[in-house]
Amino acid sequence: MAKFDLTSRMGQYLDRHLVFPLLEFLSAKEIYDETELLKAKLDILSKTNMVDYAIDIRRQLYPNEEVPEELKQRRVHVVAQLQELQQEVEPIIKVMGNDEVMKNMENMRDSKTLINFLAKDYNFEIDMIESLHKLAKYRYECGNYSVSTSYLYFCMLVLPPNDKNYLSVLWGKLASEILVQNWESALEDLNKLREYIDSSPNHFGGNSLQLLQQRTWLIHWSLFVFFNHAMGRELIIEMFLYRPHYLNAIQTMCPHILRYLATAVIINRGRRSALKDLVKVIQQESYTYKDPITEFLEHLYVNFDFDGARQKLHECQTVLFNDFFLISCLEEFVENARLMIFETFCRIHQCISIGMLAEKLNMNPDEAECWIVNLIRNARLDAKIDSKLGHVVMGAQPLSPYQQLIEKIDSLAVRSETLVGLIDRKLKARNDIRWGTQEF
């Protein structure tokens, strides 16, 4: 199943720390060679400060070898540096310990008054923020995400949005929130970050390439949030499909994101209207990116090839099962995909044999019959089962032209009536005024 695995493609756009969950997941699925994965992990760790973790993995990888001296030294060095940084921002940390002050801070209007307030009462200097930012980064590198979250929160409060560090603070905050799995605030940060990127193109010097890169990163990071937050499925469609900038970014930089978008649309029953737009995008990009999920939609909604769709649905299941983000919605996906096939089928056919339907839905006939009965009972489908022949007969007949005509004209009389009434009233009012002013 390695063919449809996107980890390597996604990895380019993720932070080192964000790749770990993906790798963990992969090693659980055992698609790749375990040692190779470990090596990859080690490689990634080498540039972070998570020395302990690196040592662990080294042990796993080479159980017979001693931990090299270099690593040990590095560990000492990291701890020392951490201490040093900590001392630099002592006053801030003290402030942060004080709940009351924090509450006050949150109520401040803007960063300037806040800085004044802090400088007056707690001998705070603006340079300290720089160090705090550094410390947060350091903590993050060490894998101390929750601590760095709180530091970065403070930074965000204090820093004005046009500060050079502001963007990196935002990114850092998002990453840490994701890593501590605090989805609520992660979503908040995500929105903040998106607004920041979208609203201020001149922060990037008008360099559209850089802007595109930022968006691409954001798209990838947001996947963590969208597939874990309850509201995510709505928002992912909103952001990826209906924001032209992001759709552009997907089309030019990372068409593989279409998989996630497609899945989100499929499992979101309320957003059937998005399907049409999505199918258009998928068709447009079909030459650069294809996987069973996009192909499923293509078969179903472009070619109306139900056999093909069925096959793809089967493949989809394995793909979803092996995807870090999508595994949680596997059940939902299959259910909705079936429903989609069935719906389309019903719209086209007036009489379907249950046997064939069952085949197309990857079910056995009895199960399928049961399923259809349930659908009918829930009043989602106007159909009847002819059990003798084993057919489902659709009930709905399209409107006759006569009905159409009546429907169209129905409201006309009422509308005209109100119009006439309105005009009459106005005319009367005008006449009254005239009489009044002329004063007979």
394 lines the binding site for another protein (CB under 8 A): yes
Would you call 35 exposed, middle or buried from its count of C-beta atoms within 10 A (0-12, 13-18, 19+)?
A: exposed
By beta-carbon proximity to another protein, the closer residue of 129 and 266 is: 266
Minimum CB separation of residue 293 from another protein in Å reads 20
Number of Cα atoms under 13 Å in the Cβ half of residue 337: 33
CA distances in angstroms from 415 to 241, 409, 421, listed in the order given: 38, 10, 10
Question: Nearest CA to 254 among 296, 222, 299?
Answer: 222
Q: Which stretch binds another protein (CB under 8 A): 74-82, 93-101, 368-376, 425-433?
A: 425-433
Name the one range near another protein by CB under 8 A: 45-53, 54-62, 106-114, 417-425: 417-425
Which span sits near another protein by CB under 8 A: 133-141, 237-245, 324-332, 349-357?
349-357
Closer to another protein by Cβ: residue 189 or 369: 369
- Cβ closer to another protein: 79 or 423? 423
**Shortest distance in whole angstroms from residue 277 CB to another protein:** 16
SS3 sequence of 53-69: HHHHHHHHHCCCCCCCH
Phi, psi of 2 (to 5 degrees): -65, -20
160, 210, 416, 421: which one binds another protein (CB under 8 A): 416
Looking at residue 302, the DSSP 8-state letter turns out to be I
Rounded to an integer, what distance in angstroms lies between the CA atom of residue 248 and that of residue 228? 24
Interaction between residue 348 and another protein (CB under 8 A) = yes
Q: Minimum Å distance from CB 320 to another protein?
A: 26
Residue 244 C-beta: closest distance to another protein, Å: 12
Q: How far is the CB of 287 from another protein (least distance, A)?
A: 4
x-or-dash pattern for another protein, window 248-287, by CB under 8 A?
Answer: ----x----------------------------------x
* 426 makes contact with another protein (CB under 8 A): yes
Integer Cα distance of 160 and 255 in angstroms: 35
CB 150 within 8 A of CB 93: no
d(CA 361, CA 43): 45
Q: Does 347 bind another protein (CB under 8 A)?
A: yes
- Token code pair at residue 226: 């969208």
Q: What are phi and psi of 399, to 5 degrees?
A: -65, 140
Please work out, in degrees rounded to the nearest 5, the angle formed at the alpha carbon of residue 137 by the alpha carbons of 132 and 143: 125
Contact stretch for another protein (CB under 8 A) within 48-56, 75-83, 190-198, 394-402 = 394-402
Does position 105 interact with another protein (CB under 8 A)? The reply is no
The residue (of 68 and 421) whose beta carbon lies closer to another protein is 421
Nearer to another protein (CB atom), residue 197 or residue 357: 357
CB-based contact 60:43 (threshold 8 Å) = no
**What x/- string results for residues 351 through 390 when contact with another protein is judged by CB under 8 A?**
xxx--x--------------------------------x-
Q: How far is CA 147 from CA 46, 137, 173, 187, in A?
A: 22, 10, 11, 19
**Burial zone of 112 (CB within 10 Å; 0-12 exposed, 13-18 middle, 19+ buried):** exposed
In the window 299-338, what residues touch another protein (CB under 8 A)? Answer: 303-305
438 is a contact residue toward another protein (CB under 8 A): no
| Secondary structure E strands in 354-438 | 383-386, 391-394
Least distance in angstroms from the C-beta of 9 to another protein: 19
Residues in contact with another protein by CB under 8 A are 252, 287-288, 303-305, 344, 347-353, 356, 389, 391, 394, 397-402, 404-405, 408-409, 412, 415-416, 419, 422-423, 426-427, 429-430
